[in-house]
Amino acid sequence: MARRESHSHHPHHHQGTHTRFEDEQIEEATESSNLEDPMCDADESTIGQDKAIDDTMCEPGESDKDIARSFELDDSVIGSDKTSADYYFDSYSHFGIHEVSVPLWMLSFSITSVMHSFYNYMISVEMLKDVVRTKTYQNVIYKNKFLFKNKVVLDVGAGTGILSLFCAKAGAKHVYAVECSHMADMAKEIVEVNGFSDVITVMKGKVEEIVLPVAQVDIIISEWMGYFLLFENMLNTVLYARDKWLVNDGIVLPDKASLYLTAIEDAEYKEDKIEFWNSVYGFDMSCIKKQAMMEPLVDTVDQNQIVTNCQLLKTMDISKMAPGDASFTAPFKLVASRDDYIHALVAYFDVSFTKCHKLTGFSTGPRSRATHWKQTVLYLEDVLTICEGETVVGSMTVAQNKKNPRDVDIMIKYSFNGQRCQVSRTQYYKMR
């Protein structure tokens, strides 16, 4: 997975794109973090409800084996068989290393414990400073104390323990904060310093391996979402904890997550970062271009780039779903809102806390306040010349990578039959 640098010279990154929180701080008294700026019109998406589309390109009855077989066709591309586990030890083979002007050690996991600790620290800082994320969780807990009072809470992937601290302050009977990284040691100290040692028990280890001192919990809370919702996520761990410890009428927070798709114009950036490999100082390096096209980009997309409507692909009910439900095939139909070019599809997600007194949640979409998840950009091989009202139809298949289940394989089938352009293609992407 590549990440786009945030330079001011990028034509689509207008002033303020990355600093919008400076003038618009989220107060504890606000109702939600950023859902007041809806990404989709009300008739195009609804929280907790999938939108059905008639499209022969999508076969909803596909099994997990069918989905897995869909990704066995593109191993001819050099490096296409690598996963994030391979990059752990071989970070230099990641194409982005060769163009991003930051130190190598900051772009890859280090195999030393010191670098691991520093990486965990950087991740914790990034998430805590994500005001949309952290304030939403805080508001959910503080404004719904009736859910937490005298309840036993399990915090899955606790990190610094911030969610556990919120729960304890809201009146939880006891909170078990489970964290498998070295950050658990820091969380214990943080809990102690803030005077919650009698309410919060920090447990270092994997959820699948620990032994809780209690048979059941009333609430499971977790910030499990990854880039593209499902990349390097902790969803299966949350589902494991749910099935093992949650009481029958227990609550999972958040309990709904929805994945969306839209299309953008992004000519100059694609030319700079993708087409660049066609001729590098007079040499053909297009083999790298093929790999670069396969790696989705994580970055903030300016809302002015959006060319079409947004399409709800999948809604997951965390309180009921099975682990295999995270692999799916979903149809899409994107309708152009203006005459323009389409260079890429963009995916993002929303999460919802539906058990609250008032529906609460946040969006990671381009029309909402920025989060550390940003958006996921999938570049198309074709440039689509589209006129207002014309449609791009297709399907997206998402599955766990067979070698490393924390990685995500994506297949997009799309077709377009417009006045100025006709295309039908299948593309493969690997988030790793």
Q: CA–CA separation, 23 vs 91, rounded Å?
A: 38
The active-site residue out of 223, 265, 295, 390 is 223
Q: How far apart are CA 12 and CA 154, in angstroms?
A: 42
| Rounded distance between C-alpha atoms, residue 228 and residue 347, angstroms | 7
| Contact between residue 250 and residue 336 where contact means Cβ atoms under 8 Å apart | no
Q: What is the DSSP string of 50-73?
A: PPP---TT--TT--HHHHHHTTSS
What pairs with residue 392 in β-bridges? 334, 416
> CA distances (Å), 117 to each of 138, 177, 224, in order?
26, 19, 20
Structure tokens at 200: 């919060």
Catalytic residue among 5, 44, 62, 232: 232
Rounded Cα gap, residues 18 and 299, in angstroms: 10
Residue 232 among the catalytic residues: yes
Q: What burial class does residue 265 get, using C-beta atoms within 10 Å of its C-beta: 0-12 exposed, 13-18 middle, 19+ buried?
A: buried
| Number of neighbouring beta carbons within 10 Å of residue 8 | 9
Cβ burial, residue 31 (10 Å; 0-12/13-18/19+): exposed
Amino acid 274 reads: I
189 is catalytic: no
Residues that are catalytic: 223, 232
